[in-house]
Amino acid sequence: SANLEGYNLRGVVLLGANLKGANLKGAYLYGAYLKNANLEQANLAGANLRGANLRWSNLKKADLSQANLVRADLHESQLEDTNLAGANLHMSDGLTQQQVDLALANETTKLPDSL
């Protein structure tokens, strides 16, 4: 799997990309287009995904701890067993309570005001 730890991938287009198990720890993915991407078991700890399009993406068992997901599009994203500890989901778009319930969130997870 790909090792992109710390890479600057601002605005990158990875529509439907297979990044299963990829190391994207601390990567800069501001505004990235990851619609329908497979990010299952990917390490996105501390990544900046502000404004990223993650619609329909597979984030099952991914590590999004401490990640910045402000204004990210999470419509229909699969978040089963996704680590959201310390993640900032403030003002994210499309996140449902059902998604949060399937994920691994805790008191340090910042959820949108609507949840």
Identity at 76, one-letter amino acid code: E
User: Which residue in 100, 101, 16, 8 sits closest to 48, CA to CA?
Assistant: 8
Domain ranges of the chain: 1-44
Q: Report residue 88: phi and psi, to 5°.
A: -105, 105
Coil, strand or helix: which one is 36?
coil
* CA 26, chain centre distance (Å): 12
Give the model confidence (pLDDT) of 74-108 as tens digits. 999 999 999 999 999 999 999 999 999 999 999 99
Neighbours of 97 (CB within 10 A): 10
* pLDDT value of residue 1: 81
pLDDT 10s digits, 5-58: 999 999 999 999 999 999 999 999 999 999 999 999 999 999 999 999 999 999
> For 104, phi and psi rounded to 5 degrees?
-105, 85
